[in-house]
Amino acid sequence: MTFRGWMVEKTTDNEGAKQQVARLTDLEADVLTAGDTEIETTASSVNYKDALALTGSPGIIKAWPLIAGIDVVGTVRSSDSGRWVPGDHVLLNGAGLGESVNGGLAERALVDGSQLVRVPQKFTPTQAAAIGTAGFTAMLAVLAIERHGVKPEDGPVLVTGSAGGVGSITIATLAHLGYEVVASTGRAETEGDYLSKLGATDVVDRAEFSESGKPLQSQRWAAVADAVGSTTLANVLAQTRYGGIVTACGMAQGADLPASVVPFILRGVTLAGINSVEAPHALREEAWSRLAQTLDPALLDDMTEIYALADAQSIAEQVLAGTVRGRSVIDVTA
């Protein structure tokens, strides 16, 4: 039986130059070669990594050819893992999907059953896909802030890249937990009301952080959840209060960090990297359990747009252009 999926391949043009091309095509079952649990996919999503892979940008996919999609939500068809039975509703984020093993932007997936998480009863499959890697990453950042000991009464928490998927869910989760959340965005005029509805108490322009600044600046933030990197990350480190924490999960502005050791030494600031790809299973379970406790499904629906499988590439282009708000779910069955 064939099934539809977004396959990314390397091709060579007439001049011998290699290109990375993604296309929606009918696939044979034998392309699924790694894993012990077969899933009938219900939904996936378009994250930043997916956007890069689907538009021909190098650096994400490490095995060829490969089905794109770092998220998968669906129903177990069969499993030799000993953990799952046909009909179980499961999900998986990261874990090499869409990078080194076939991913979730297809009607079928074959994955390692030991990495799967059961879809929380609170969420529909579409809502689970809306959370996806973005929401999973957001919760990992929130957990890091909590474990550092930052409490709501300690002061404001800044969220950069706030109108995107990670930022949106970070704001909603922190606000639910009682934190004072300040949202940083380059779209304050158009997204201010949206961010306030998620729970942000203030919205600031990302231009405040995008230019080079002093190694130490006025102490403003008890914690920061950063999805931008580069100069923005350097500036928020310089503005974090004594003993605070900055979590870093993205590099939309760049992978460089033009900062100094001064905030770490003179203010005891902690920089915590957030890695959703290699998170151990116990942490995955904890993060999804906390998401079920703290994230309002109605609020999640408000930040979500749903598209057909064929739309994934066009949505990827919008993600890279920075025009997407919240989460873009792909209904794989449509």
Give the residue from 97, 42, 71, 122 showing the smallest Cα distance to 290: 122
pLDDT at 15: 78
Residues whose CB is less than 8 angstroms from the CB of residue 308 and which lie 6 or more positions away in sequence, other chains included: 330, 331, 334
pLDDT at 140: 98
Residues of the chain where predicted confidence (pLDDT) is lower than 70: none
Alpha carbon distance 275, 140 (integer Å): 8
Q: What is the pTM of this model?
A: 0.95
pLDDT at 240: 98
Record the tokens describing residue 49, joined without a space.
């990594």
Helix intervals (H) in the chain: 48-54, 125-147, 165-176, 188-198, 207-210, 230-239, 262-266, 281-294, 297-302, 312-321
146 contacts 247 by C-beta, under 8 angstroms: no
pLDDT at 250: 93
**Topology adopted by domain 3-119+303-331:** Quinone Oxidoreductase; Chain A, domain 1 (3.90.180)
pLDDT at 17: 79
pLDDT at 7: 98
What amino acid occupies position 283?
L
113 contacts 283 by C-beta, under 8 angstroms: no
pLDDT at 13: 76
Domain range 133-273, CATH class: alpha beta
pLDDT at 19: 86
Q: Which 8-state DSSP code applies to residue 295?
A: -
Please write down the long-range contacts of 241-244, taking CB distance under 8 Å and 24 or more positions apart. 241/154, 241/155, 241/267, 242/267, 242/268, 242/269, 243/267, 243/268, 243/269, 244/148, 244/150, 244/269, 244/270
Domain boundaries, the chain: 3-119+303-331, 133-273
**Helix (H/G/I), strand (E/B), else coil: 30:** helix
pLDDT at 11: 86
